[in-house]
Structure 1
């Protein structure tokens, strides 16, 4: 979360002072407010209940890790020469030596001793309700009472929680998360193993989140390293909550004076704020009351850990960690539960757009290519995304999407000539300009009565377009033909010839459909179809004489000019009283006519 949100934190801090709870309600859970070792107490309603202030449920020992600094050297009594030598030696010390200097880093706080869990949380739960849930307009505690000042419910997690099903968490009543990014100094080996997974999932699902780092800093140099550790890991993430400095380790930071802890904290917080992020302090109740007493701590939002039915901290704070035994769907075992308090409300965030995969990029490029070559313009974002999704989801193939472009209102409105139309198809589907022979053949198809869809299908089913689709990682597919002429190409070509030879014109759409139906649907033979043209009213209106009639029979049924002997024989038939229909059947019954019909595949 960048700097502008800090004003909200400061306003929240000064807005309200937490309401103190009565003695009877404070006895449940852990509520000790001194820095002495946690002791068992007997109290009126919870005799035998142990109290303690605690941190996140980090079960098990933390792995052995590298550290960047040697034991803390007191500033008093050290001359400049000694300090210079120490600094030089520190810069050249290997990570192995640094481990020896500091030892194995394991938790030693109010819940852990040498990395082992030492306190069982034993909260007293009232029956018949779900603790820490939202009921009757309020968040309730473990005994069913409203939590005064509570606004949003959250969790804090680390690698100790294992792999979390964040989708289930997102569907629960959890509003936000605080994620451990790591511990100690700025080494990759000290990054939290699940930091990136947790942060990426929260980003993907739109779960607001902040960050904490478990501190082992013994001096300001190590505080600076821990701040740099966090900044390295949060780069590129949009934080909705602060970066929290986790102060609780008794073995290391617990040995320092209150002033030394404040000095370390100030360096850490100043470094984080200088990078543009909000920063806060995490500690348990005892530490806030007894160790973090320097006035400098008043400038940072406080996140107080106290396992209890209420938080007993008397100062201002913006978040309360109330239990480590929370049950949240998607997380195995107990998890730390927190509440934002006293006016500090977590704002919703939009789920992040998933990163574009290589396939997405390829498909996007394919669609952009269609915009440029077919519509002759750059893509618009809405259209591009819609077509891309259709291809990614395999709702349509590359062929079907391309057809959508070619027959879109936008493309049709360009009113391209057949020549221009075919040229666009060459560039789009073959990836090259037209060649003269190929282009002439496609243009002939358009003049023979075929639709532009028929021509498009031919380009789509080419090897060149198949290769283009493979390059963009999509399925080529094909398109269906819708018109009866396109579905019966042999018949269409023959009928086009009849129109040309006998009627001397191009087919009209309605007439062509009727003739194709005669062939394809009513199954009339080629001779009957041809007869229909020759004895049509349009042909009769030509008023051909006998010689012209016989010559057109040669051309139409034999596909050649008349030879002299044959022509004379046909004229003799007419002189002998044969009708023109007799002449036609004489031509139609010949082997020469059958060969002509067969040449069209009929």
Structure 2
């Protein structure tokens, strides 16, 4: 075998090994066995979950013992939908030592004022955590996202009405894509809850995040629903600082 053929064979073997290693890594990440964000998130002491009806019936005493400090519970969506597990989750979570709050999934298809009134009709005042508003793409809006002006016309009155009612600026949850398109450079008084499930988040406008959703494929004890996984989050600060965002 000539030297050039040896080099070519060695290159092919190395390339095949690299592809195999990357494929194995991808499978481990996809399955939730290996999740890089977990390593970085381990440096933060205040940890929590966010849940919805997808987690099914939750034994909150069990879940609260899983090394978490807070829980955000889906309450509402748009101007009329209430999560079917909200009432049970709200009652159960508030019987634990967890800090508890609610989040609203914002619709691009109804006015911000009507969405705010829907939240107010559903979520009691006096929660441990500031109310949160989830801004992300869904359905056909992935392919055809609304303009920033259209979203601002919904989001701004929604946030203002919720702040007036609950007494503190709502937390804005966003995916990186939604943040860059709709939030960056605006809403300076609203704490940012950002999703970044591989590496620590870096916001386009260099703003500091407040809550980081670092995983959507963790498994904890205490729930049994259609969704086997649960979202995990960390807060940049202490539990007292997290509670202070609610203005209580």
The verdict on a shared fold, with TM-score over 0.5 as the criterion, is: yes
CA contact (8 A) 2:137 2:178 kept: no
TM-score (norm 1): 0.33
**1:232 maps to 2:121:** yes
Give SS of 1:299's match: coil
1:288 positional shift: 1.4
Structure 2's unaligned 5+ residue stretches are 1-17
Within a 5 Å distance, the mapping from 1:135-154 to structure 2 comes to 141-142=37-38, 144-145=39-40, 147-148=42-43, 150-154=44-48
1:343 positional shift: 6.0
Structure 2 CA distance for partners of 1:329 and 1:277, relative to 1, 3 Å: farther
Higher-Rg structure is 1
Give SS of 1:246's match: strand
Distance 1:259 1:47 in 2: 41
1:248 alignment partner in structure 2: 136
**1:259 maps to 2:153:** no
Within a 5 Å distance, the mapping from 1:421-570 to structure 2 comes to none
CA contact (8 A) 2:37 2:215 kept: no
Distance 2:41 2:192 in 1: 21
Structure 1's unaligned 5+ residue stretches are 1-41, 51-119, 126-130, 132-139, 349-602
1:260 positional shift: 2.0
Structure 2 CA distance for partners of 1:265 and 1:208, relative to 1, 3 Å: same
Give SS of 1:271's match: helix
Give SS of 2:71's match: strand
1:205 positional shift: 2.0
**1:158 maps to 2:52:** yes
1:270 positional shift: 0.4
Give SS of 2:107's match: coil
CA contact (8 A) 1:216 1:252 kept: no
Within a 5 Å distance, the mapping from 1:345-360 to structure 2 comes to 345-347=241-243
Structure 2 CA distance for partners of 1:205 and 1:275, relative to 1, 3 Å: same
Within a 5 Å distance, the mapping from 1:271-282 to structure 2 comes to 271-278=161-168, 279-282=170-173
Aligned mate of 1:326, from 218, 227, 231: 218
1:315 positional shift: 2.1
Q: Deviations over 1:295-328 (max 9, x none)?
A: 3322211110111142233421110111111122
Distance 2:141 2:115 in 1: 14
1:342 positional shift: 4.9
Task: Tell me which protein shows more helix as a share of its residues.
Answer: 1
2:6 alignment partner in structure 1: none
**1:306 maps to 2:201:** no
CA RMSD of aligned residues (A): 3.0
1:238 positional shift: 2.8
Structure 2 CA distance for partners of 1:203 and 1:343, relative to 1, 3 Å: closer
Structure 2 CA distance for partners of 1:289 and 1:296, relative to 1, 3 Å: closer
Aligned mate of 2:65, from 162, 171, 181: 171
Structure 2 CA distance for partners of 1:146 and 1:204, relative to 1, 3 Å: closer
Distance 2:40 2:126 in 1: 35
1:242 positional shift: 1.6
Distance 1:206 1:343 in 2: 15
> When the two structures are aligned, how many residues end up with a matched partner?
216
CA contact (8 A) 2:51 2:74 kept: yes
**1:194 maps to 2:85:** yes
1:243 positional shift: 1.3
CA contact (8 A) 1:262 1:296 kept: no
Distance 1:184 1:330 in 2: 29
1:49 positional shift: 6.5
**Which of structures 1 and 2 has the larger relative contact order (alpha carbons within 8 angstroms, sep 6+)?**
2
CA contact (8 A) 1:245 1:280 kept: yes
1:203 positional shift: 1.6
Give SS of 1:210's match: strand
Distance 1:153 1:47 in 2: 31
CA contact (8 A) 1:175 1:346 kept: no
CA contact (8 A) 2:32 2:218 kept: no
1:290 positional shift: 3.2
Q: Deviations over 1:408-441 (max 9, x none)?
A: xxxxxxxxxxxxxxxxxxxxxxxxxxxxxxxxxx
Distance 2:189 2:25 in 1: 35
